[in-house]
């Protein structure tokens, strides 16, 4: 048989337990924070897709000597839209000796290029191209191929160009030999 006292104790215990539970409802902790930082690096690349080796079987004095196929180049970028342009530059490290055959040289001013199948050729005789804290090319041995304006819609983009090359020996005679050199291609943001 259950005594009245036992029932009263059970009733008090359940009232006390209920008051403790109701006193904890709606209790909040302190607010903790997590700092999150993420950086996406800018990228700017130049890739020679084809034509990375250019060969002329015969150089002829006093005329233009066109290479048979163009250099196909892709310039790709993912940059901050605060840059105003992406510029592709070609240059020879030593303009007076762009192509070398022993002690004989062809200067960069005699090597010419154009972007696309039509248009005039220009010599690698320009100056350094500046891009703020960086620069590309060398004085007297550089040629700017293009300057692509950057806006909010093309900050992540690319372009592929055919660069046609020639050695212009108009009015020039060179010694017989196999001439070799390296054309550097580099992009910069301005």
Q: What CATH number is associated with residue 134? A: 2.60.40.1090
Q: Is residue 136 part of a domain?
A: yes
Domain count, the chain: 1
Q: Is residue 16 part of a domain?
A: no
pLDDT in tens, 124-171: 999 999 998 899 999 999 999 999 999 989 999 999 999 999 999 999
Query: According to the model, what pLDDT value does residue 152 have?
Result: 83
Query: According to the model, what pLDDT value does residue 14 have?
Result: 57
* Residue ranges, the chain, pLDDT below 50: none
Q: Is residue 32 part of a domain?
A: no
Query: According to the model, what pLDDT value does residue 24 have?
Result: 76
- Contacts of residue 109, defined as CB under 8 A and 6 or more positions apart, other chains included, come to 95, 123, 124, 125, 140
Q: Is residue 108 part of a domain?
A: yes
Query: According to the model, what pLDDT value does residue 82 have?
Result: 87
Query: According to the model, what pLDDT value does residue 179 have?
Result: 98
Query: According to the model, what pLDDT value does residue 133 have?
Result: 86
Query: According to the model, what pLDDT value does residue 25 have?
Result: 85
> Which domain does 74 fall in, by range?
43-189
Give pTM, 2 decimals: 0.82
**Where are any strands of DSSP class E within 41-141?**
43-50, 64-66, 71-78, 85-91, 99-101, 104-106, 111-115, 122-123, 129-131, 134-136
């Amino acid at each position: 048989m259950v005594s009245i006292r036992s029932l009263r104790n059970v009733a008090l215990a359940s009232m006390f337990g209920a008051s403790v539970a109701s006193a904890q409802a709606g209790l909040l902790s302190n607010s903790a924070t997590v700092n999150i930082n993420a950086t996406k690096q800018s990228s700017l690349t130049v890739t020679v897709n084809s034509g990375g080796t250019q060969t002329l079987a015969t150089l002829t004095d006093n005329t233009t000597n066109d290479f048979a196929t163009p250099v196909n180049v892709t310039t790709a970028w993912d940059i901050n839209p605060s840059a105003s342009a992406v510029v592709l530059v070609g240059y020879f490290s030593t303009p007076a000796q762009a192509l070398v055959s022993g002690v004989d040289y062809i200067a960069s001013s005699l090597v010419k290029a154009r972007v696309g199948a039509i248009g005039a050729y220009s010599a690698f005789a320009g100056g350094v191209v500046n891009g703020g804290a960086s620069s590309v090319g060398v004085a007297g041995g550089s040629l700017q191929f293009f300057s692509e304006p950057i806006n909010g819609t093309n900050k992540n983009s690319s372009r592929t160009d055919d660069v046609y090359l020639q050695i212009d020996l108009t009015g020039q005679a060179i010694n017989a030999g196999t001439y070799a050199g390296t054309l550097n291609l580099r992009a910069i943001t301005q």
